[in-house]
């Protein structure tokens, strides 16, 4: 299954950076500050497989540079409200300010 299908917002998927909606495939997000990155798998899609965190498959220019402070994984799809609450908590915990 393609990531485009797996994280499609039209089917309940979501991508957020610092609690703001983002495009999973074109975030152009670069920062030297701590950031909160959230993804939700679309309705009735297979769970995302975490296998390549440091490098995006065959793309040599997509390399993770930084540290991962915390990873939360749930056994069900969270609602928008639940995600917002968790994001607010994590942003407060790590001192991240919304733009």
Structure tokens at 30: 């670069």
Query: Is residue 35 scored above 70 in pLDDT?
Result: yes
The string of pLDDT tens digits covering residues 55-91 is 566 666 766 677 778 888 888 888 989 999 999 999 9
- Give the pTM: 0.68
Q: H helices within the chain, ranges in order?
A: 3-6, 80-94
Q: Would you call 14 helix, strand, or coil by DSSP? A: strand
The count of residues in the chain is 99
Owner of token pair 């990531």: 3
């Amino acid at each position: 299954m393609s990531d485009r299908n797996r994280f499609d917002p039209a089917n309940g998927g979501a991508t957020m950076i610092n609690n703001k909606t983002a495009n999973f495939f074109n975030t152009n997000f670069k920062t030297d500050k701590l950031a909160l990155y959230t993804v939700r798998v679309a309705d009735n899609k297979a769970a995302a497989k975490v296998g390549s965190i440091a490098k995006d498959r065959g793309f040599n220019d997509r390399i993770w540079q930084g540290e991962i402070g915390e990873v939360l994984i749930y056994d069900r799809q969270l609602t928008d409200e639940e995600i917002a609450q968790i994001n607010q908590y994590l942003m407060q915990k790590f001192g991240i300010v919304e733009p």
